[in-house]
Amino acid sequence: MALTIVQVGMGGNSNAPAFSAYYSGGAQTPAANTWTKLIFNTKDFDTANAFDATTNYRFTPLVAGYYQINLICTLGQNGSSTTNFYSSIYKNGTSYANTLTGQVANGSYSNQSISIVIYMNGSTDYVEAYVNPSATGYYPQANIRSMAFSGCLMRAT
Instruction: With CA atoms as reference, report the closest residue to 30 among 106, 141, 127.
Output: 141
**Is pLDDT larger for residue 11 or for residue 131?**
131
C-alpha Rg value of the chain to the nearest Å = 17
pLDDT digits (tens, 9 = 90+) for 142-151: 555 678 999 9
**pLDDT for the residue 73:** 84
pLDDT digits (tens, 9 = 90+) for 91-104: 999 999 998 776 56
Domain boundaries, the chain: 18-156
User: What is the CATH architecture of 18-156?
Assistant: Sandwich (2.60)
Q: Average model confidence (pLDDT) for the chain?
A: 82
pLDDT digits (tens, 9 = 90+) for 72-128: 887 766 666 667 778 899 999 999 999 877 656 666 667 788 999 999 998 899 999
By CB atoms closer than 10 A (0-12, 13-18, 19+), residue 151 is buried
Report the run of H or E that residue 155 belongs to, with start and end: strand 147-156
The beta-carbon contacts of 113-116 under 8 Å, at least 24 apart in sequence, are 113/70, 113/71, 113/72, 113/73, 114/69, 114/70, 114/71, 114/87, 114/88, 114/89, 115/68, 115/69, 115/70, 115/71, 116/68, 116/69, 116/89
Question: Is residue 24 within 8 Å of residue 144, measured between CB atoms?
Answer: yes
Per-residue confidence band for 68, with pLDDT thresholds at 50, 70 and 90: very high
Whole-number Å distance between alpha carbons of 24 and 113: 19
